[in-house]
Amino acid sequence: MRYSIKMGILSGMLAIASCEGYMDREPIGLITQDQISTDPTEQSITSSVNSVYQLYSQTLNVIGEWDWTGGKVLRNDFIVYDIAAGDMIKKWNPDGDQAWMDEVAAFNFTSINGAFNGVWSYNYEAISRANIAIDILENQEVMNEINLQPALRDRLLGEVLFLRAYSYFDLVNNFGDVPLLTAPLESFEDAYEVSVRAPKAEVWAFIKQDLERAVDLLPETKYSNPAEPWRVSIGAAKAMQAKVALFEEDYNAVIMRINELDGYGFYALNNHYFDSFDAFQQFNENEVIFAYDHQEARNPGRGNGLAALMGWGFVAPSESFVQAFEENDPRLFYTIDIEERNPNKLLGTTNGQFKGNDDSPGNKIYIRYADVLLWKAEALIRSGNIEGGLQLIDEVRARARNTPHGDGTVSPADLLPPYSGRGLGEAEAFQALVDERRVELGFESHRFNDLKRWNLADEVLSAMGKNFQQHHYLYPIPQEEVDRSGGQITQNPGY
């Protein structure tokens, strides 16, 4: 049979008639590399799913051609989460290059800042591609026609449901209420109807629905496909269920979901802190749950383009971040080699090997088990089980203490002493959790969301001299999206 593909048109299509010249632009949701043919095959359907993954990479120019001011050269996670949080500064030697990044750092920005347009564009492009893949995978007539094996169909559908949920998670935390697109768009009329902001409670419910379906569909194995260990797994979906519960402050659900995750027996803390990030240990360690697999010398390219920016002096630590580490904590070097000016954790090496290389193989890590343990620690502390929470923090600290320093020396036994057994109250235990998350997960794009969900962003960032205001708890909707929708997409207060 012939199957008429309903192409996701999304961001640019929301222009409707109000955007002069729109018809001269390629729809942002168009899959051009591996477009599904009008006669779907197993290969074309798999390619449509694979195209969604691209939007979670740090590969250069996935959706833009050197569109720096539009925020589309690569994912802006390091800007909107790490630089905004005060852990990272743009460059080792501050200059006027890419001043829009400095505006985010200073909280002196407007709705035309490219950082926010990039976040919006990457996520809605992923959602648009996901909707195309989901639409065809859920068409049983097509599945029968091409004889796609049910196990493969379920796995691919579970993967893409997770990816769609992840993008909506990113959007709702950055912007609050956002347009909720649940199917491919076929016309300008469809685009006009969906170019309104859905209440964030509705978006959260949709995220949870997608994740629940993903868990039901994905195989109960550590890797969904051992030949391609980078694919979304049931562990990633279960971990995201726990993370959503954490952000909703449903602490009993956090504990339950993590206990379920632990029941699989797939993950544990690596013995060495750097193994999660080592470009030569990828998928040969026990801690990483979900990451984008950057690879060298592929066509189309899938290298880690952030390493290229490092060759131009980008990605440096703030003094506040460096001072957050306890004396001689090995994690500081593995995160950032200050002497050589190498962000080791992001390069995937401790010798600067891939610095300046836009095709480097270092993975972009989204979820790892240490992060999960600290979610559970937080949930336990907030639920009144203070000692239980502190013991999990101590597991993370013990691993750091037992990791040799960069020069191979071993830390003394009293380094990073445990918090449990000290009789800490809830406030002290929670502060220990806050401090530990900062140093354990530094430069992994978690800090700003942490500060916001703890309602500490105004206090912490103001103390750092940043111009943080209450309305900054949400970023501005990109002004061009507001304009394209004819004002149907309303702007966040304060912008």
Q: What is the pLDDT of residue 195?
A: 87
Residue 21 has pLDDT above 80, yes or no: no
Is residue 293 within 8 Å of residue 363, measured between CB atoms? yes
Whether 119 is in a domain gets the answer yes
> For the segment 40-49, what is each residue's pLDDT rounded down to a tens digit?
899 999 999 9
Is the model's pTM score more than 0.85? yes
> For the segment 63-87, what is each residue's pLDDT rounded down to a tens digit?
989 999 999 999 999 999 999 999 9
In SS3 terms, the chain reads as CCCCCCCCCHHHHCCHHHCCCHHHCCCCCCCCCCCCCCCCCHHHHHHHHHHHHHHHCCCCCCCCCCCCCCCCCCCCHHHHHHHCCCCEEEECCCCCCCHHHHHHHCCCCCCCCHHHHHHHHHHHHHHHHHHHHHHHHCCHHHHHHHCCCHHHHHHHHHHHHHHHHHHHHHHHHHHCCECCCCCCCCCHHHHHHHCCCECHHHHHHHHHHHHHHHHHHCCCCCCCCCCCCCCCCHHHHHHHHHHHHHHCCCHHHHHHHHHHHHHHCCCCCCCCHHHHCCCCCCCCCCCEEEEECCECCCCCCECECHHHHHCCCEEEECHHHHHCCCCCCHHHHHHCECCCCECHHHHCCCCCCCCCCCCECCCEEEEEHHHHHHHHHHHHHHCCCHHHHHHHHHHHHHHHHHCCCCCCCCCCCCCCCCCCCCCCCHHHHHHHHHHHHHHHCCCCCCHHHHHHHCCCHHHHHHHCCCCCCHHHHCCCCCHHHHHHCCCCCCCCCCC
Average pLDDT over residues 464-468: 97
Domain that holds residue 469: 8-217+455-488
Q: What is the pLDDT of residue 36?
A: 61
For the chain, what is the mean pLDDT?
92
Question: The tokens of 145 are what?
Answer: 């026609």
* 493 torsion bin: left (phi>0), alpha (psi -120 to 50), beta (else): beta
Whether 329 is in a domain gets the answer no
Q: What is the pLDDT of residue 189?
A: 73
Whether 200 is in a domain gets the answer yes
> For the segment 432-453, what is each residue's pLDDT rounded down to a tens digit?
999 999 999 999 999 999 999 9
Whether 66 is in a domain gets the answer yes
Q: What is the pLDDT of residue 25?
A: 34
Residue 394 has pLDDT above 50, yes or no: yes
Residue 34 has pLDDT above 50, yes or no: no
Residue with the larger pLDDT of the pair 418 and 94: 418
- Rounded to an integer, what distance in angstroms lies between the CA atom of residue 88 and that of residue 317? 4
> For the segment 96-130, what is each residue's pLDDT rounded down to a tens digit?
999 999 999 999 999 999 999 999 999 999 999 99
Question: The tokens of 202 are what?
Answer: 């509705």
Q: How many domains does one find in the chain? A: 1
Whether 189 is in a domain gets the answer yes
Closest by CA to 114, choosing from 126, 106, 102, is: 102
> For the segment 292-331, what is each residue's pLDDT rounded down to a tens digit?
999 999 999 999 999 999 999 999 999 999 999 999 999 9
Whether 352 is in a domain gets the answer no
Location of structure tokens 């769609």? 164
Whether 114 is in a domain gets the answer yes
Instruction: Name residues whose C-beta falls within 8 Å of residue 293's C-beta, 6 or more positions apart in sequence.
Output: 229, 230, 282, 283, 302, 363
Q: What is the pLDDT of residue 3?
A: 38
Q: What is the pLDDT of residue 37?
A: 52
> For the segment 209-222, what is each residue's pLDDT rounded down to a tens digit?
999 999 999 999 99
Residue 271 has pLDDT above 50, yes or no: yes
Whether 92 is in a domain gets the answer yes
> For the segment 136-163, what is each residue's pLDDT rounded down to a tens digit?
999 999 999 999 999 999 999 999 999 9
CATH number at residue 105: 1.25.40.390
Q: Which residues of 203-213 are buried (b: 16+ CB within 10 A; e: fewer)?
A: bbebbbebbeb
- pLDDT interval class at 35 (50, 70, 90): low
